[in-house]
Structure 1
Amino acid sequence: MNVRETSIVKDLSLAPQGRLKIDWAREHMPVLNRIREKFIAEKPLAGQKVAISLHLEAKTANLAEVIRDAGAEVTITGSNPLSTQDDVCAALVESGIQVFAKYNPTPEEYKEHLIRTLETRPDLIIDDGGDLVGILHAERPDLMEQIKGGCEETTTGILRLRALEKSGELKFPMVAVNDAYSKFLFDNRYGTGQSVWDGIMRTTNLVVAGKTVVVVGYGWCGRGVAMRAKGLGARVIVTEVDAIKATEAHMDGFTVMPMMEAAKYGDIFVTVTGNRAVITGDHYPLMKNGAILANAGHFDVEIDKVSLEEQAVSKRIVRKDIEEFVMQDGRKIYLLGEGRLVNLVAGDGHPAEIMDMTFALQALCLLYVHDNHEKIGRHVIDVPYHLDEQVARYKLESLGVHIDDLTEDQEEYLASWKV
């Protein structure tokens, strides 16, 4: 297959600068590089076709090349229209990976890229937000006959998968990579926490210290966003619907209140819930002049953009990735990145060292599904603990950090009911 002829990318001449980005990421992803060495030697995915839908930037490209080095034929597409980097796509094509992705495609083109990826008839998939799985189950079941299973990257995708499983309609096994300790404790908290503020600060060029930040949702991503906002000198308000998470936010030192109250105080709002319409038309009339809205959830449904446009008398682009909405009373509300993932639309996503752990899990779990799909059955399963711990140990080794091991006596004590 000549991927230069079959791929859909913006401009292959961008490949050299994309290669520089990928190589930089690779230099800072030692765990994945260790797995790469093993994959090159053993070729455990030889003869397999792998379809990937992820945010298509340099760290993701490194994962795709590791899976290729395992012997697989890889096809990749983006999981968000505004997070795809055209130079990275070009570099992947030049490295022998088939790509169907461009920055800011039309909705029709975006859907076509997903379907074209699935029309390669993959054996295994890596999904982000459940787009590939959704198309296979709802629209193109003819393309899933040889799929052994796959992995899911996000909370949003896992919610969709578990709904499919509960209804008895899931047709192949999926591993909930997002729920692994080495993923959510680091990727969701430290990755999202840093990259969201990278995106907001790069885009607005405004100070965070002294401002009031409203974090909508206190899951692992929300914890990270709130923690980093506090570290930057902001006053932080958290809104929640879960009593346990709200109690935790309070005990962590943040102010907790309903969104209708928080709307009056926020200078910057960040949504991280995975749900829809958490900031709505009821909230806009209460907001300060100059309020900034940003979303860090997977889909662009958390901020009600329709109501914002309906209430505004005018809108314009005032900076790259910033839309200004002028309300009837003259107040201005700013929306970042069209309400899409601000850390990827307006930034470069999570740090390479963080994605190193997540993508190492993806690579190992994909191999696990390949080897165990019949035993797993049509279920959504957690990442096997030994793989989770393996990634953590590789990470510690790359940092030069050493830990203790249990003695035989300690293991026997923990395994016994006797004191």
Structure 2
Amino acid sequence: MIRSLSRPQLLVDAVMAVIALLARTVLGYDGAVAFWMTVGMAGALFLRRLSPGIALGLAWCTVAVQLSASLPPDIANAAVLPVLFATAAYGSRTVRWAGLASVPIGALIATVYVLFLQSGGFDGLTSLVLQIRTGEAFQAGAPGVIGFVSAAALFGLSWVLGLLVATWRTARDGRAALRSAAAEQADARREVAVEQERTRIARDMHDVVAHSLAVVIAQADGGRYARAADPEAANEAFRTIASTARSALADVRVLLGQLRANDDADPGSDRSDRSVVAAPQPTLDDLDRLIDQLRASGLMIERIASGPTAALGPGQQLVIYRIVQESLTNVLRHGDSAIGVRIGFSWEAHAVILTVDSGLRGSRPVGAAPHGHGLDGMRERAVLAGGSFEAGEVGDRFVVCLTLPTLTASLPHTRGAMPA
């Protein structure tokens, strides 16, 4: 395995290998084998970070040449320590375990080799081993045990230090990955918040434009028909058109301002907190104006209420207003205005139930225009406000039913049934 290193890292490793080679050259060589052994160790020192596996293999090959030539231990053998360090710090799982296995094996070979050289060859080593086995020369075997333990400790310490470095690097990378994931999650949350806000603005834009255009079309048709017979009624229709258009234009400007604020927001900040531009939003007090506006367009609307009124938040009031607006606009476009519309508020202990009861035109219910999203938009508004929404045919009428929890509710929301 060849690791990717930067040029400064490669330069540092090359300089260290050259320094080690020159330092050993100052001491001189006893032969060509000693020189090439030093070159091999210097090469292993250079390759230790670039390829720990190749460096370990080169070090073992160099040691094998040294043993075959019966060369004494050399200062160049110290390069084994950084190589063992590198196998644990930078090597793969296989190379790391190979480095660990090299610790006891290398310590044993080094100890036996030193004893071999001290005893004068194979004959002396065999005699020493026999004495140690029979217990006749404990003091003769004690240096070997001490040498083995010392070599194993030295080799093992190098490997353990490399493992600690690898563990620290893994922990650092893990912390960096967590920080990166947290940053990506924050970005994703901001993007979701902005997308939700844009969806809300698009919903409001649909409600404002669809309602206003429906009123304008109805008034324009009525004024055109009444122009000859009742000029005053035509003038009133035109006044309603102008008033509705001005109101719609003001609402559209507010919504466009909100959208522009989202686009101009600083990407590095929490746009979800700035996405809602402070602007007046319709409340329950604005329902009378809405109903009067649609009554002027020819709808017969009856508003009834039962039970003591409870407190609702601004968001809940906006949901009620938009659902009533969407429902009445759908009646004006698709329903039977001659049958009339009943808007009912039932105030209960912990919830308010809104019903919009309207007529059907043919077999198509109000809000079910082809490819429309009216009912889906109303349902989404209700769910986001913590309530429930149902819509469907009841006999020959179409009923929209919204249930919202009041501010005094102790439960998340109370689900209401559609009236029969």
TM-score range, shorter chain: under 0.3
When normalised by structure 1's length, the TM-score is 0.20
Higher relative contact order (CA 8 A, sep 6+): 1
The structure whose Rg is larger is 2
Q: Which has the higher helix share?
A: 2
Q: Which has the higher strand share?
A: 1
